[in-house]
Structures are given as C-alpha cells and as structure tokens.
C-alpha cells in the first residue's frame, strides 16, 4: 500500500524543484524528505528523481508516478474532508480574475464544492481592483488578485508573464499612427500598463473595443480589431504574440497573489490550499 506521506513529499519536491523548499512545504526536515524519497524509490525499485544540477526534476518513471500521486492525494483529501465536515460549514466567498474563471480553475472549484455539501461556495469573477476593494471591506473571504510584482502581503504569490497580442490571420498595422487597443473597462491593470507603455514611446492610441468579458476580448483580438495584453493562459491559437521587434517592448511583470481576509475560517484556508496547488501547477507548466 502506498504511503501518503511519501507521495506528498515526492510531489512537493517536484513542485518546489528541490529538497530544501519541499521540506518547508511539508513541514519536515530536509534530511527527512530525502529519506522519504529514498524509501519511495526503494519501494518501486526505480529512480524517480534526477539529482544532477541545482534543480531536481523527475525521471521518466517519476513523471509517470507524479500524475498518479496527485490523483491519490486529491482523493485522500476529498475523503478526509467528506468524513470530517460538520453538517453545515457556512459559506466561503471567493473572488477570482476573469481569465482564471475561463480556465481549469472552475473544475477545481466544482470538485471542492461537491466534496463539501455542507459548505456554500460563492464565487465572483471580476477585475482585481474590485476584488481587492471587496476583500478589504469584508465582502470576500479569499481572492486571487492580479497586481504589480513585488507588492507585500498574501498567502502565496506567483509571477505572471503577459504579452502583447494581435490577430494571427488579420494582424493590425503595428506602424499605424494611433494604436487600436482592446481591454477591460477602466481599472484593468493590463489596460493601464498598455497605455503607459504606448505613451512612453510617444505614440497615440485609441480604445477600439472594451469588454467586461475575457472571451469578448479574445474574440476581438482574433478578429483583428486591435491589440491587447494577455497572460500566457489566456492566449489562443488564433492570436499572435508581438515582441520588441514589432515595436512593442515587453510589459513589466505582474503577479498573481492569493490573499485571505483576517480570521479566515478553516474551510476558507482549505480552499486556499487547493488554489495554491492549482497555481503551482499552472506555474510549472508555464516555465
């Protein structure tokens, strides 16, 4: 029978890229984590990790085990949650950015809600500006926020890569006097960054399309109505990324932060753990 503690340490080492950071995640000493991985390798009779260089990576056998380990740990946590929950756990109010709502996160939230039928999950997708405001007002319990890199506070933080994008089949004229832009309404972090970058380059701009929906922005870019700035996870096959060679220098990095309200409930903190795992996976795939 597989030992869950060994699997948990194995996943932590792969996600963290090393034993030191993994030991902090699982609250074990580095030597203990190293011994756990050795036990796991002995149990399977396979080398699971490449230990050459500064970053630890899974071997081919380790890659195969990794997907099973994540599923086993997820099922174990779900079973624990179902058996341990009280008849009513109240509510968790979560705020997420629009591009996360359009991604795999919705499936994670659905699984979390199914595992805790005594909990009411209230999810709202909105601009980070408003999510931050509502978190400070006590109207949200937990939020994923887009913000400038380096800001303080939060349970966890992940760097985000964003890019200028245009249509792949109907690209705009990048030399046009006035640059047509496609963005969320005023208050959008990317919108402010784009305008600042264009004005700093001494160029004119106009807002060609404004939408409160990510899918609307993606469609407008694909159709060739203008340029936008999108994170990696929101760029589609019918989009083309622009670079400094096209006259559009890289945008300063932004980040995604997971922030909880003071005095967060156990259910809120449990959801925060799930969201942190999700963002770690997204970060690993983008690397």
Q: In the chain, where are the structural domains located? A: 4-83, 85-160+255-286, 162-252
Q: What is the CATH number of domain 4-83?
A: 1.10.10.10
Q: Which residues contact 167 (CB under 8 A, 6 or more apart)?
A: 221, 222, 223, 224, 238, 239, 240
Q: What is the pLDDT of residue 210?
A: 95
Helix axis angle for 4-16 and 60-84, nearest 10°, is: 120
Buried b / exposed e over 210-248, threshold 16 CB at 10 Å, is bbeebeebbbbbbebbbbbbbbebbbeebbbebeeeeeb
Q: What is the pLDDT of residue 151?
A: 87
Domain 162-252 has CATH 3.40.190.10: yes
Low-confidence ranges of the chain (pLDDT < 70): 1, 82, 84-89, 101-103, 285-287
Joined tokens for residue 95: 């705020």
Class of domain 85-160+255-286: alpha beta
Q: What is the pLDDT of residue 160?
A: 83
Bridge partners of 143, per DSSP, are 95, 259
pLDDT, tens digit (0-9, with 9 covering 90-100), for 62-72: 898 988 888 89
| The two domains 4-83 and 85-160+255-286 share their CATH topology (first three levels equal) | no
Within 13 A of 255's CA, how many CA atoms are on the CB side? Answer: 15
Q: What is the pLDDT of residue 82?
A: 67
Q: Which residues contact 107 (CB under 8 A, 6 or more apart)?
A: none
Q: Which residues contact 50 (CB under 8 A, 6 or more apart)?
A: 56, 57, 58, 59, 62
Tell me the percentage of the chain whose pLDDT exceeds 70: 94
Q: Count of CB atoms within 10 A of residue 205's CB? A: 19
Distances (CA, A) of 199 to 122, 203, 205: 40, 5, 8
Q: What is the pLDDT of residue 182?
A: 96
pLDDT, tens digit (0-9, with 9 covering 90-100), for 179-195: 999 999 888 888 988 99
Q: What is the pLDDT of residue 141?
A: 95
């Amino acid at each position: 029978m597989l030992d869950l503690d060994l699997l948990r340490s194995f996943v932590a080492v792969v996600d963290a890229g090393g034993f030191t950071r993994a030991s902090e995640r699982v609250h074990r000493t580095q030597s203990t984590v190293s011994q756990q991985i050795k036990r796991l390798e002995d149990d399977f009779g396979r080398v699971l990790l490449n230990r050459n260089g500064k970053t630890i990576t899974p071997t081919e056998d380790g890659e195969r085990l990794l997907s099973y380990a994540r599923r086993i740990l997820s099922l174990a946590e779900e079973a624990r949650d179902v058996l341990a929950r009280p008849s009513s756990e109240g509510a968790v109010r979560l705020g997420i950015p629009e591009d996360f709502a359009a991604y795999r996160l919705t499936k994670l939230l659905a699984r979390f809600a199914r595992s805790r039928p005594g909990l009411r999950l209230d999810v709202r997708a909105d601009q980070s500006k408003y999510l931050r405001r509502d978190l400070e007002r006590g109207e949200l319990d937990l939020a994923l926020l887009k913000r400038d890199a380096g800001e303080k506070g939060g349970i966890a933080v992940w760097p985000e890569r964003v890019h200028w994008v245009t249509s792949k089949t109907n690209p705009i004229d990048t030399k046009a006097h006035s640059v047509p832009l496609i963005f969320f309404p005023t208050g959008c972090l990317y919108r402010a960054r784009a305008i600042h970058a264009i004005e700093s380059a001494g160029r004119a701009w106009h807002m060609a399309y404004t939408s409160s929906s990510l899918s609307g922005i993606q469609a407008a870019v694909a159709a060739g109505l203008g340029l936008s700035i999108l994170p990696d996870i929101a760029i589609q096959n019918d989009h083309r990324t622009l670079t400094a060679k096209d006259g559009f220098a890289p945008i300063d990095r932004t980040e995604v932060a997971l922030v909880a309200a003071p005095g967060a409930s156990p259910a809120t903190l449990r959801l925060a753990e799930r969201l942190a795992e999700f963002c770690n996976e997204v970060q690993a795939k983008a690397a």
